[in-house]
Structure 1
Amino acid sequence: MDVREAAVAFRDERHFRVDGAGLNPWAAVSGDYRTVDGWVRLHCNFDHHRDAALAALGLPAGSGVDAVTRACAGRSAVELEEAVTAAGGCAAAMRSRAEWRAHPQGRAVATLPLIGVTQMDGGRAERDGGGAGRGRPLDGVRVLDLTRVIAGPVATRTLAAHGAKVLGVGADHLPEIPGLMIGTAFGKRSCHLDLRTREGAAALRDLVAGADVLVQSYRPGALEALGFGPRELAGIRPGIVCVDISAYGSHGPWAGRRGFDSLVQMVCGMAHEGGNGLRPRPLPAQVLDHATGYLAAFGAMAALLRRSAEGGSWRVELSLARTALWLDSLGRVDGGDTPEPEVADLLGEMDSRFGRLTYVRPPGTVDGASPYWAGPPPERGEHPPAWW
């Protein structure tokens, strides 16, 4: 893989088109707001997160940017961050790198590995080749995708590009960002299950029994509460690889906090550095989402290889915040005058139920063979909850 391919792939949503039209995933009131002592970012792309933020600000439903700007201007950034979070919304106060590293959650993140790969059951499960020796590297591997919003979907989309059968498991009551959902669903199937019901939980157990990998991006503890924690999954399917993606990691005071790429860039110092501490300026990509997604796919493949050699069930853990710490450690280059890369030769087109799609092809080669997606993105819940 060359650097140009990687750079374009990290911003693939900028080049994604449906019948020639691009996408804007940002809701009207999502954005950065000045406070009495700095800045806070509100993430309101899901309606219930928007409603929670407005309620925390004491604003009526339907309030716009001007009202939010006035409400934020009279309060501190951390106060707003905590109030919105307590109301069930998503917010982040802008911090410097030093402030984040001194923060209890920043210290907790620093103790985590970039990709945690652990065996859960001492190698008791039967060894499995995990698709090795077949056509594409992951031919024959079955993946359950319980993720949303870039990082997890990029991971499972990558696995699909290398031959895995990927079945997305969503639900009617779980919102999606339409354009992002389409652009990250190439090569997958999609079913809907309500895991809060006896029937939905039973159907997921049946799917898990036939799966090799399960990738999930629920908040830490949420799937365990529904009876689908890593240990329970390994009990249903000895030899499973469980990949857990979170915003802030599974330890520390923020372990269960909702988060997205733009919020983590705010709290960890990236947006602070980009704007010289005067105002937020994030990196020119959802770099934490994409990096964590590719690292998660890599972790899943590594665990499959270890399963084939050692047996056992495996757990892979990643977080956007830990990815941010790793990227921060790589140093700096002055990229201000770097021209936009040429993309035309890296794009593909495909017909779908949504229209004619233009997309960035999966990057790189493996032993000279290019990854590819065997089919277009499905509609939400288009398929039955069954393997094929």
Structure 2
Amino acid sequence: MPSPTSPAEALAGLWRLLGQPGQALERAALTGAEPVLPSSFAVGTAAQASIAAAALAAAELWRLRTQTVQQVSVDMRHAAAEFRSERYLRVDGQPAPELWDKIAGAYRCGDGGWVRLHTNFPHHRDGVLAILGCAYERDSVAKALLHWTAADFEQRAAEANLVVAAMRSFADWDAHPQGRAIAALPLLSLEKIGDAPPRPLPPGRRPLSGVRVLELTRIIAGPVAGRTLAAHGAEVLLVNAPHLPAMAPLAIDTGRGKRAAHLDLRAAADKARFAELLRGADVLLQSYRPGGIADLGFGPEQAAAIRPGIVYVSLSAYGHDGPWAGRRGFDSLVQTASGLNVAEAEAAGIDGPKPLPAQALDHASGYLLAYGAMAALARQAQEGGSWHVRVSLAQTGHWLRGLGRIDGGLACPDPDLEDVRDLLEDSPSGFGRLTAMRHAGLLSDTPPRWDLPSVPLGTHAAQWAGQGRQ
């Protein structure tokens, strides 16, 4: 088992990847040690390093604003708990609504292989049931899948634009064309996509004061990025289409610090309104299926033409290169497809898939998106241009795998609510009294906080609240 990468080494790798100033690393204090979650993978290291990269990028923006430096600190136990923030969420003292659909999960197929189904959205659930021709019950799904091979069902589901993954080992994934494409990509990329004059950061009391973020995201990774930017003072406007389903616990947990509006970009009036919002934005953050936002007229180059100087931040499931570049996916499926579930199961000595103890690819990708966004803002403020940041769950999974394994990590106790009570905070919200995870990325002079409560989607008008920058 390869020796694990130290948290400091992991952070330095992230920091240098985007060409950030090396002296900033001297101002980062990383406390705690593996293991902090029951896993053979370095999930705690991934949590600490990704959160620290975002916090350090916020501190660097503060230095650009004020010519003063501040210290950054991230504790590994806190970071790992934040990687499971949705698990610890309570509303009026009660657990949030159930996250998973009753037939979601892993099933053995007729060839002995496994597939994982993601059926939390009704159209994905109904599509799977239509292919299988069975009842909406776990037993019925299990029996129907015995008539399929894992690879055939994965392919049939992909052709129907559904979200299913066949379980692979690392060796299988490394030999797969998409696995090879992912291995050839950097963890995240920052690319100039247009010319524009610099927009210096405005005066403000926080690293992202006056920065407007237009957010088009759902589920975990994209919303975590928006939540992180809000924690450092950005004005974040979350835009959802009213006809799209949402997962209530995730929307509640990741909605802190944001205003939430409804627009349907298929409608001409709403599309025009969104374009107007974009003209006043500094960052556009989107995590919809590859090409989906571009089809509506707001892809990276399109957005840069509407708003020169935009920082455009994209999340995908399987990266922007390779045969699966357009494929839909979620954290649990990418874990299954890319070998992580097999490797974890082998370490535990069990048959069948074993997921990581957190939606680690989602959460890490969220902080990497926020890190990339802030690094791009720093570039824009100093040299101008429009910029595109790209992150994918599969690239994040490849990075996690490369951090090494934790000997005996699976014996670590699984922290329950009481174990992390000291890391939680209570606040009012549009859903009731919220008990939720504090942010682990601490800055000495501008501590992170969320000024706005989490509210139901569509609560606010689709307009900017503050003056921001034009």
Report the AA paired with residue 96 of structure 1. S
| Identity score, percent | 53
The yes-or-no answer on 1:128 pairing with 2:199 is yes
Counterpart Cα distance in 1 of 2:316 and 2:80:
24
Counterpart of 2:444?
Answer: 367
CA deviations 1:183-214 (Å, max 9, x no partner) are: 11001001111111111110110000000000
Shift in Å at residue 221 of structure 1? 1.2
The yes-or-no answer on 1:261 pairing with 2:334 is no
The yes-or-no answer on 1:335 pairing with 2:403 is no
Report the AA paired with residue 64 of structure 1. E
Counterpart of 1:119?
Answer: 192
The yes-or-no answer on 1:46 pairing with 2:121 is yes
Q: 1:28 is paired with a residue of what secondary structure?
A: coil
Shift in Å at residue 340 of structure 1? 4.3
More helix by share: 2
Counterpart Cα distance in 1 of 2:178 and 2:342:
18
Counterpart of 2:102?
Answer: 28
Counterpart of 1:161?
Answer: 231
Counterpart Cα distance in 2 of 1:351 and 1:68:
41
CA deviations 1:119-139 (Å, max 9, x no partner) are: 112xx31212235x5211111
CA deviations 1:36-91 (Å, max 9, x no partner) are: 221100000000000011111122xx521111000012211111111122223210
The yes-or-no answer on 1:346 pairing with 2:423 is yes
Correspondences of 1:269-308 after superposition (within 5 Å): 269-276=339-346, 278-308=351-381
Conserved? CA contact 1:56–1:87, under 8 Å: no
Report the AA paired with residue 25 of structure 1. L
Counterpart Cα distance in 2 of 1:283 and 1:130:
39
> Structure 1 residue runs of 4+, over 4 Å off?
none
Counterpart of 2:220?
Answer: 150
Counterpart Cα distance in 2 of 1:302 and 1:16:
30
Aligned positions, number: 383
Conserved? CA contact 1:55–1:87, under 8 Å: no
CA RMSD of aligned residues (A): 1.2
Q: Quick check: 269-278 or 200-209, which moved more?
A: 269-278
**TM-score in terms of structure 1 length:** 0.96
Conserved? CA contact 2:259–2:452, under 8 Å: no
Conserved? CA contact 1:351–1:357, under 8 Å: yes
Shift in Å at residue 368 of structure 1? 4.0
Counterpart Cα distance in 1 of 2:139 and 2:201:
54
Conserved? CA contact 2:225–2:369, under 8 Å: yes
Q: Quick check: 332-341 or 161-170, which moved more?
A: 332-341
Q: Quick check: 324-333 or 15-24, which moved more?
A: 15-24
Shift in Å at residue 170 of structure 1? 0.4
Counterpart Cα distance in 2 of 1:383 and 1:130:
26
Conserved? CA contact 1:5–1:364, under 8 Å: no
Counterpart of 1:15?
Answer: 88
Question: Which one of the candidate residues 96, 100, 113 is aligned to 2:173?
Answer: 100
Q: 1:376 is paired with a residue of what secondary structure?
A: coil
Report the AA paired with residue 227 of structure 2. R
Q: Quick check: 141-150 or 73-82, which moved more?
A: 73-82
Q: 1:352 is paired with a residue of what secondary structure?
A: coil
Shift in Å at residue 92 of structure 1? 0.4
Counterpart of 1:188?
Answer: 258
Q: 1:245 is paired with a residue of what secondary structure?
A: strand
Counterpart of 2:300?
Answer: 230
Counterpart of 2:183?
Answer: 110
Report the AA paired with residue 48 of structure 1. H
Report the AA paired with residue 206 of structure 2. R
Q: 2:285 is paired with a residue of what secondary structure?
A: strand
Conserved? CA contact 1:212–1:240, under 8 Å: yes
**TM-score in terms of structure 2 length:** 0.80
Q: 1:8 is paired with a residue of what secondary structure?
A: helix
CA deviations 1:315-339 (Å, max 9, x no partner) are: 0000000000011001011212223
Correspondences of 1:70-109 after superposition (within 5 Å): 70-109=143-182
Counterpart Cα distance in 1 of 2:87 and 2:295:
37
Counterpart Cα distance in 2 of 1:207 and 1:127:
20
CA deviations 1:238-273 (Å, max 9, x no partner) are: 110000000001111111111000000000100011
Which runs of 5 or more residues in structure 2 are unaligned? 1-73, 466-470
CA deviations 1:271-323 (Å, max 9, x no partner) are: 01111273000110000000000000000000000011110000000000000
